[in-house]
Amino acid sequence: MQNEELIKKWLNDELTPAEQETFEESEEYKHFSKIWDGLEVASPPFYDVEKELAKFRENQASTTKVIKVSWTKRLVGIAASLLLVSVLSYILFQFTKQNQTLSFTAAQEELYLPDSSLVILNKGSKLSYSPENWAAKRAVELEGEGYFKVKTGSKFEVIAEDGVVSVLGTAFNVKQRASFFEVICHEGKVRVATTQDTTLLTLGKAFQLEAQKVQLFEVTALEPSWLKGESSFHKTPLSVVIDELENQYEISVDADQVSLKGTFTGSFPNDNLELALDAITAPAGYTYQVLNDKVVFTSENN
């Protein structure tokens, strides 16, 4: 090909006026400019950005992501989709009956509320709400422990035995076990109202109520450890820790022979009973014995 340099310069808009003139007189220029002009044919079709954005929003509302649990995402995705389908069919089913309350009992499950807020329930937990009243009031009742990722919007309330947690749109964890009530704010702001008073939690702040005693502390975790298969505690009474152990492993713990006066700060795995028992008993100086689904704690001094 002739004029290769000129062609390159032409493509790069680097021709001097003199070169431009020379080039334009050449046979090559005629061909190249015809091709160049003809490339108009490759113009893309019209892209309706508003329509595509609406489609995007629709897809986001119905897909799962947001929460990163440590298992393979695919499995979680499939499980969540199945769950979503069953939740939706359940909702549809329930709509045929009037004034019903929906409730879910979980062995750690993800579920979506009508506004696509996400709730992950820890083992042995129960969540209920009324779908009919949902549009008027976003409120759920919780027994046990749940992690909430709430879509921004009107006030959202989690009603537990010992308090009410209200937010506008944020991520937080609520735990109500027996007389133990704990709220951890993982994003934004959370208001915790108990019979005694009201506390506003910001990112990384936590509230704990145990036997009428309020404790405020800070956490650095971006999400609750139980999402990753670990139960964590901060200066929590041993009795509460043992309750959680019983809940996670579906065992019963006999702690009659030890004093359960102390508190526990730390965590135990939810999938390895022996490690979990070591984690709890070692700091307190207990030993334990496992008999089928029963565990007996004994004091080493005995």
Partner 1 sequence: MAKKDIGVCDESTFNEVFRKNGTELFNFLHFKYRDEDEAKDLVQEVFGKLWENCEKVSVEKSKAYLFVVANNLMKNVLSKKSTALKHQEYVKTKEASTETPHYILESSEFEGQLNQALSELPEEQRLTLLLKRIEGKKQREIAEMLGISEKAVEKRLFKAMKHLRKRLGNIL
Cα 280 to Cα 267: distance, rounded to the nearest angstrom: 8
User: DSSP of 104-146, one letter per residue?
Assistant: EEESSEEEE-TT--EEEEPTTEEEEE-TTTTTT-EEEEEEEEE
* Residue 30 engages partner 1 in binding (rule: CB under 8 A): yes
Residue from 24, 32, 128, 255 touching partner 1 (CB under 8 A): that is 32
Nearer to partner 1 by Cβ, of 73 and 234: the residue is 73
The encoded tokens of residue 188 equal 């934004």
Question: Which of 21, 25, 34, 198 is close enough to bind partner 1 by CB under 8 A?
Answer: 34
Q: Examine residue 52 and tell whether it contacts partner 1 (CB under 8 A).
A: yes
**Rounded-to-integer distance, Cα 87 and Cα 89, Å:** 6
| Contacting range for partner 1; rule: CB under 8 A; set: 57-65, 77-85, 174-182, 253-261 | 57-65
DSSP annotation of 85 reads H
120 vs 245 by CB, closer to partner 1: 120
38 binds partner 1 (CB under 8 A): yes
Q: Nearest Cα to 249, choosing from 279, 230, 232, 270?
A: 270
Assess 136 for contact with partner 1 (CB under 8 A): no
Task: Tell me: does residue 115 bind partner 1 (CB under 8 A).
Answer: no
Could you say which of 2, 16, 17, 49 contacts partner 1 (CB under 8 A)?
Answer: 49
Taking the complex as a whole, the smallest distance from the CB of residue 169 to partner 1 amounts, in Å, to 10
Q: How far apart are the first and last CA of the chain?
A: 98
Least gap, CB of 52 to partner 1 (angstroms): 6
Other C-beta atoms lying within 10 Å of the C-beta of residue 129: 23
Q: Is 44 helix (H, G, I), strand (E, B) or coil?
A: coil
Using CB under 8 A as the criterion, which residues of the chain lie in contact with partner 1 when the complex forms?
1, 7-8, 11-12, 30-32, 34-36, 38-45, 47, 49-50, 52-53, 55-56, 59-60, 65, 152, 187-188, 203
